[in-house]
Amino acid sequence: MTSTKRRSETRSAILVLIILLAGAVLLPFGYGLDLGPGPNRIRALIWEYIDAPWFSGVRIVRIGEMLEALLYTLPRYFFLFQIFNLYRTSLSQKRIWPVGILGASFPGLVSLVLIVGWLQGWTQPPPPQSDHYFPIYIPIPTILIMSIILLRLLPVRRKD
């Protein structure tokens, strides 16, 4: 009986992990406001939606842009690992939510550091001499919302 329960919990954990990994790759992580001549966009790991006068639509990003987006989304994957550990071990839910909030807000925090560095002249010349080239990301917490829903639908059973 316990092996059947354990197998069911493992299946639930794998199902949740697959759904959240697919969401981390396919769903957007931020809305990019470009301060310069570039367009605003909604960004995901492998695609982006651009709305500009010269082009509007979805495009698959190049490998360099994908690696940049991966840096913005690294805490998301640590959060997914914590959720998987929640199902597999006796990790408490109180410990995973701060990681989820950090993962959801990380693109905005990185943008804030870039803005401060840009205004201080650490990354390029100060504003009158430079263009506003980097985007400011407003975080979209898709994975955090998905994980809340999935943890309600597939609750974690505690071992007593």
Residue 69 domain-assigned (yes or no): yes
Which candidate, 109, 111, 104, places its Cα nearest to that of 35? Answer: 111
Residue 158 domain-assigned (yes or no): no
CB 137 within 8 A of CB 109: no
Residue 32 domain-assigned (yes or no): yes
Residue 22: is it exposed, middle or buried by C-beta count within 10 angstroms (0-12/13-18/19+)? Answer: exposed
Rounded Cα distance between 151 and 160, Å, is 19
pLDDT tens-digit map of 96-109 = 899 999 999 999 99
Measured N-to-C along each axis, helices 2-26 and 63-88 cross at an angle, to the nearest 10 degrees, of: 160
Residue 160 domain-assigned (yes or no): no
Residue 146 domain-assigned (yes or no): yes
Instruction: Look up the domain containing 103 and give its range.
Output: 2-153
Residue 159 domain-assigned (yes or no): no
Residue 27: CB atoms within 10 Å: 16
pLDDT tens-digit map of 137-152 = 999 999 999 999 988 8
Which candidate, 44, 85, 35, places its Cα nearest to that of 66? Answer: 44
* SS3 state at 56: strand
Residue 112 domain-assigned (yes or no): yes
pLDDT tens-digit map of 40-63 = 899 999 999 998 888 889 999 999
For the chain, the domain total comes to 1
Band of residue 131 on the pLDDT scale cut at 50, 70, 90: low
Report residue 105 as tokens: 């807000």
Q: Which of 4-8, 37-41, 67-71 has the highest mean pLDDT?
A: 67-71
Q: In sequence order, what are the beta bridge partners of 41?
A: 32, 50
CB 62 within 8 A of CB 70: no
